[in-house]
Chains A and B, each alone.
Chain A
Amino acid sequence: MTTPYVQVQGLAKTYGNVRAVDGVDLSLDEGRTAAIIGSSGCGKSTFLRCLNLLESPTSGTMRIGSHTLRYEGDELVDGKSDSLLYRKQMAMVFQSFELFPHMTALRNVSLAPIVVNGTERQRAEAEAIALLDMMGLKDKADQRPGQLSGGQAQRVAIARALAMNPRVLLFDEATSALDPELVGEVLEVMKGLAREGRTMLVVTHELAFAREAADEVFFFDQGRVAESGPPEELFTNPKTERLAAFLQRYQHSAPR
């Protein structure tokens, strides 16, 4: 068996007395898509933010590729010199897009390659145009985020993430802030990326997406992975009562 590309062991994040993430173990092979599901407040978004170092974990070990970070007592104890390279392995897509509102779509996508990687401006912009084209947004390159629909904005955000050539893509409830009729266009893009063989971790409420596009599903409950496995198995035959109850609640709310 190969070693997984993403490996998390005993990850915990506490805020004061609240254990938002409480000992998560998770691993994912290269080229595979993991869906992370669970009710609000189960720690799935916090987990993703910890993985991307947007929050500093309280304790635990996270490895992506050959870069390993170990946290203990709210401090990074191992891998300090590696943390930038570690983060560069990933790019994140956010629930509320978080595009830079004062920049055009093109600038949003090309900024980080230019100022972080030192890519020549002309090349970075050509690559950005190609990515926007891939998202079906070539004609929106000169528009600002305020002039785009939610679905278009989120696709620009996906292009922005791809522009950094990440090995792992993180999606933090990428469709939750969208109008229902715009969810589909973003999910289609995400499915396409999964089919391409991208390594993806997708925090989502879209169970249909998890079932169709994910290779592996992790059900979070109270800051832990309560159950994980291939989607068919989890959705048709939940082993824990919590997952069964969760699935039932979702089937009653309108499925898309």
Chain B
Amino acid sequence: MNYAFDWSVVLRPEAWLNAIGVTLAYGIATTLAGLVIGLLLGLILISGFRAGRWAVNVFIGIFRCTPALIQIVWFYYAFPMVLSVNMPAWLAAGCGLTFYMAAFSAEIFRGGIESIERGQWYASRSLCLPYWKTMYYVILPQTFRRMTAPIVNQSIIQFKNTSLLSVVSVHDIMYTANGITAATYRPLEVFTFAALLYIVLIWPLATIAVRFERAMNQKNTI
């Protein structure tokens, strides 16, 4: 390869720091909001509320079977029109990703809750614990431990998907990389650096999660 590297083009600390902040903010906010909504949807999925189950299944079907990019664009441009409200752009941009996370995590939570042995429900009922207390004290703590791996997986995907937000002008890492490339014509250096930033941000998250999972499993060997 006959290429003269010029890494000085990536020396834009303010731009990158700002971009890292935006990526982290969207990554954390849409992941957490998605998990909370996903948990609620998962609880509806295992409930006896038939119409609710049907509605949630339709929701999940739509959000799992359409590309995240289309969801982002649709929520950004079309959703405020449909509701004819003036949504702040930053919120509209986050909606698509949040619901995307919610749809996938709803299925993770449903599967996790259903994987808890029936005996745990029997024992709780026998002790006169009401449904929601059983869920809160007995079932969900076990579900979270058992589902750590798929939840972490989905969260990582979610973090990387924030790069799609650049198409609706969210000034994240991807958007910033595009901008610098357009100004310097140095895609090799700029995108390599951007990729490194994602790795530095996400890798520790994944490692911490794996450690947490191991610690939990050691406590609970049956």
Contact = CB atoms under 8 A, between A and B. Distances in A.
Interface stretch (A97-105, A184-192, A198-206, A233-241): A97-105
B12 interface: no
A96 B119 contact: yes
A208 B133 CA distance: 40
B141 interface: yes
B142 A54 contact: no
23 contacts: A52-B126, A53-B125, A54-B126, A84-B128, A87-B128, A91-B126, A94-B122, A94-B123, A98-B122, A100-B120, A100-B123, A100-B137, A100-B138, A100-B142, A101-B142, A102-B142, A102-B145, A102-B220, A111-B129, A112-B127, A115-B129, A115-B137, A164-B128
A116 B122 contact: no
Given A102-B145, A145-B222, A146-B221, 13 more contacts: A53-B125, A54-B125, A87-B126, A87-B128, A92-B123, A98-B122, A100-B138, A102-B219, A102-B220, A112-B128, A116-B127, A116-B128, A146-B222
A87 B55 CA distance: 35
Contacts of B117: 98
A88 B128 contact: yes
Interface in A88-144: 88, 90-92, 94, 96, 98-102, 111-112, 115-116, 144
Nearest to A107: B137
Contacts of B145: 102
Interface in A35-58: 49, 52-54
A13 interface: no
A111 B141 CA distance: 14
Interface string A226-247: 0000000000000000000000
A112 B142 CA distance: 17
Interface string B117-156: 1011011011111000100011001100100000000000
Interface residues of A, number: 27
A199 to B, nearest CB: 16
Contact of B220 (A52, A98, A146): A146
Question: A102, A144, A147: which has the most chain B beta carbons within 10 Å?
Answer: A102
Given A94-B122, A94-B123, A101 B128 contact: no
Contacts of B221: 146-147
A160 interface: yes
Interface string A65-98: 0000000000000000000100110111010101
A102 B219 CA distance: 8
Question: A91, A98, A99, A112: which has the most chain B beta carbons within 10 Å?
Answer: A98
Question: A52, A84, A100, A160: which has the most chain B beta carbons within 10 Å?
Answer: A100
B123 A116 contact: no
Nearest to B123: A98
B119 A98 contact: yes
A102 to B, nearest CB: 5
Contacts of A145: 222
A44 B129 CA distance: 25
Question: B117, B119, B145: which has the most chain A beta carbons within 10 Å?
Answer: B119
Contacts of B123: 92, 94, 98-100
Contact of A92 (B126, B129, B222): B126
Nearest to A111: B137
B129 A54 contact: no
A47 to B, nearest CB: 15
Contact of B127 (A101, A147, A164): A164
Interface string B190-222: 000000000000000000000000000001111
B141 A91 contact: no
Contacts of B137: 100, 111, 115
A116 B127 CA distance: 8
A94 B127 CA distance: 12
Contacts of B222: 101, 145-146
A148 to B, nearest CB: 10
Nearest to B126: A92
Contacts of A147: 221
A88 B127 CA distance: 8
A102 B216 CA distance: 9
Interface in A144-171: 144-147, 160, 164
A100 B138 CA distance: 7
A87 to B, nearest CB: 6
B124 to A, nearest CB: 8
